[in-house]
Structure 1
């Protein structure tokens, strides 16, 4: 059994590099004077401090301080008719900026206008729940805490929504391993059989792309088909021809075969 490695400093090892292509930001346009969005912004400015505001893809985006999220949303809902919170979540900027960008997407149903309210929250900083304003925030805030680890104060029932209650870590953080960390690989083994069974059973494999040819259901390999549930020692390892239809094929449709297939060099 491999030794356990503490994961306390996994976030400290995260870093931002430019080795991956980064999509260019959408252009930020000024807010036209006298427009409905200008009036919406004025209502928010009366309630709290606005750090930045602009039009992006025809929508108003407002940046505020995280402690003012309830004030800003209350002003837009009560003064400007934004009655619906259609979406809210957080974006992981831990490696670059040490925190999360929390956003609230709200909708004015009568005038078909959308506004995105954003605030930046540091890793261990909490935001106030907007559940009293928008009931749709209930599960959204639970999911944000469960998968991203953004704390929400005064939520009526802040428990994990998708992961088990005793889960460790937050799987949607960019530093969370794609196949799970040490805890994830041993979670069900420890839960069902106990840690003493680790040497017997082995860690879980959470790679969805992996197919074990000695699986209990005897998955078939392309070109080496095997019967379902057949014992490994009875499997014929000779290669079988690849066919794209059943034995009888489909009536009035030409049969496809690997020999007659062609790979195009470039798209037509």
Structure 2
């Protein structure tokens, strides 16, 4: 088994990030009086903690314990009858919390609202499946990818990963190519743990190319028989072009017209 490396902050320092570059903030605008969004805030009363408009979308920050109550008001009193998106963002390294968001759509008014709340690690959120059937799979995916538990969900289990998978892949502490359990998962499932020494761990790096692999890659100009051993090197083969189908653009043998016909 390969050496274990700590996963506390495996994605915290990307090698390609410019440390002097600061991402520009999207401009935030206040809600105009008498507008559609102003009527929405009036229906919510004092339940909203913070409100503003970003790119034509009303953003409402709420208490996570009141998510079902507030989204019910938005659906039944404000006409937001569609939940187009629901997920979370991992901010555990910064403040020990997730940021959950619900993207709601009012079809008749062509307006959008994003409901945002913070949830501490280990806490659960109330399911909105009674209001939107589409939230069923979205909440299961949130549980699968982030490990966020959803109370009163009709069937809360993993939806993308196997039921016995270790960890949650969208956490920022989860390695990009999986951990030790991921590298041995298929070997253990298909053959058994006793075959680990025979087969070896799974290579989860999609960009890795073996210089001597003659089974998975075409070797243009260096063609060899399938599965041949080229550890001693291979001989270059000249590339032949068909005069009727293909053109060798490396040769300066074409004609150039002085004038367009």
TM-score, L = length of structure 2: 0.84
Q: Residues 190-209 of structure 1: CA distance to partner in whole angstroms, max 9, x if unpaired? A: 11122121111110011111
2:241 paired residue number = 247
Question: Which of 174, 177, 181 matches 1:176?
Answer: 174
Mark the runs of 5 or more structure 2 residues left unpaired by the alignment.
Answer: 253-261
Mark the runs of 5 or more structure 1 residues left unpaired by the alignment.
Answer: 261-268
Alignment pair present for 1:165 and 2:163: yes
Q: Given the superposition, is the C-alpha separation of residues 218 and 14 from structure 1 closer, same or farther in structure 2, using an over 3 Å criterion?
A: closer
Structure 2 counterpart SS, 1:205: coil
Structure 2 counterpart SS, 1:142: helix
Tell me, in whole angstroms, the C-alpha distance in 1 between the residues paired with 2:5 and 2:153: 31
Tell me, in whole angstroms, the C-alpha distance in 1 between the residues paired with 2:243 and 2:133: 54
Structure 2 counterpart SS, 1:232: coil
Q: Residues 158-205 of structure 1: CA distance to partner in whole angstroms, max 9, x if unpaired? A: 111111010011111122111110000011111112212111111001
Alignment pair present for 1:136 and 2:134: yes
Tell me, in whole angstroms, the C-alpha distance in 2 between the residues paired with 1:74 and 1:204: 47
Alignment pair present for 1:89 and 2:96: no
* Residue pair 2:97, 2:120 contacting (<8 A) in 1 also: yes
How far did 1:234 drift? 9.4
Query: Looking at CA atoms only, which structure, 1 or 2, has the larger radius of gyration?
Result: 2
Alignment pair present for 1:232 and 2:238: no
1:256 paired residue number = 249
Q: Given the superposition, is the C-alpha separation of residues 88 and 163 from structure 1 closer, same or farther in structure 2, using an over 3 Å criterion?
A: same
How far did 1:238 drift? 2.5
How far did 1:121 drift? 0.9
Q: Given the superposition, is the C-alpha separation of residues 14 and 216 from structure 1 closer, same or farther in structure 2, using an over 3 Å criterion?
A: closer
TM-score, L = length of structure 1: 0.82
* Residue pair 1:103, 1:118 contacting (<8 A) in 2 also: yes
Provide runs of 4+ in structure 1 moved above 6 Å: none
Alignment pair present for 1:202 and 2:196: no
What is the RMSD of the two structures over their aligned residues, measured on CA atoms?
2.8
